[in-house]
């Protein structure tokens, strides 16, 4: 997404969802084309890998822009029903420079993972089967003030790698069945 950032949802993009395509303004048509491309890519996948770092206790705006573009009633979600990708496996990897787990000074300050698990996994929204991996203390190798936490970082990273391998095997088996 960084190489080709998704545009933020505009008024034209919202109104295009509720306007007959034959009546679209040029701005609505352009916005609808972006949404259509992103939605087709999303719906066409059998499984998902989301790598969303924790930035300032939340998600990067470009990922939020992507979510806003693809969450469309009747296409990817269905109010009162299931979304078009419901039940598909998804792995969410969210690296963070510090520690946000139980007992850390930042405990309770991760506003990314709970939000994404809700948006991605809630049956009223995308309804994906989400597994979350959170390698922590990724700044320990480069920030002198965190150097004493390097062993914890290495353990967190090793665990995340092991869990990622397990998830890849599990999803591969599910898709092959």
User: In the predicted model, is pLDDT for residue 2 greater than 80?
Assistant: no
Per-residue pLDDT reduced to its tens digit, 127-150: 999 999 999 999 999 999 999 999
Residue 141: predicted pLDDT: 96
- In tens, the pLDDT along 39-48 reads 999 999 999 9
Directed axis angle between helix 61-70 and helix 26-43, to 10°? 90
Enumerate the H helices of 44-83 as residue ranges. 61-70
Mean pLDDT of 101-124: 92
Say if 33 falls within a structural domain. Answer: no
For residue 72 the two structure tokens come to 């469309």
Residue 54 lies in a domain: yes
In a domain, 41, yes or no: no
- Which residue range is the domain that position 70 belongs to? 46-176
What mean pLDDT do residues 43-70 have?
Answer: 95
35, with CB counted inside 10 A (0-12, 13-18, 19+), is buried
Q: Is residue 38 part of a domain?
A: no
* pLDDT tops 60 at residue 1: no
161 within domain boundaries: yes
Of 91, 89, 90, 76, nearest to 125 by C-alpha is: 76
CA distances from 5 to 38, 61, 64, 128, 156 (A): 12, 10, 11, 23, 30
Domain containing residue 141: CATH number: 3.40.50.360
pTM of the model: 0.92
What is the arithmetic mean of pLDDT over 40-66?
95
77 belongs to a structural domain: yes
Q: Is residue 119 part of a domain?
A: yes
Question: Taking 80 as the threshold, does the pLDDT of residue 108 lie above it?
Answer: yes
Query: How many domains does the chain contain in total?
Result: 1
What proportion of the chain, given as a percentage, has pLDDT over 90? 85
**38 pLDDT band (50/70/90 cuts)?**
very high
């Amino acid at each position: 997404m960084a190489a080709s950032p998704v545009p933020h949802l505009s008024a034209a993009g919202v109104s295009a969802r509720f306007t007959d395509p034959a009546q679209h303004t040029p701005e609505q048509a352009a916005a609808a084309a972006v949404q259509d491309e992103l939605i087709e890519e999303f719906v066409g996948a059998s499984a998902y890998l989301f790598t969303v770092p924790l930035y300032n206790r939340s998600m990067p705006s470009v990922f939020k822009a992507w979510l806003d573009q693809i969450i469309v009633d009747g296409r990817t979600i269905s109010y009162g029903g299931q979304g078009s990708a419901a039940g598909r496996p998804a792995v969410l990897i969210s690296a963070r420079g510090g520690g946000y787990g139980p007992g850390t000074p930042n405990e309770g300050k991760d506003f990314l993972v709970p939000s994404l698990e809700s948006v991605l996994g809630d049956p009223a929204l995308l309804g994906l089967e989400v597994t979350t991996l959170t390698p922590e203390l990724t700044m320990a190798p480069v920030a002198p003030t965190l150097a004493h936490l390097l062993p914890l970082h290495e353990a967190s990273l090793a665990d995340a790698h092991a869990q990622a391998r397990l998830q890849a095997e599990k999803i591969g088996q599910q898709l092959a069945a």
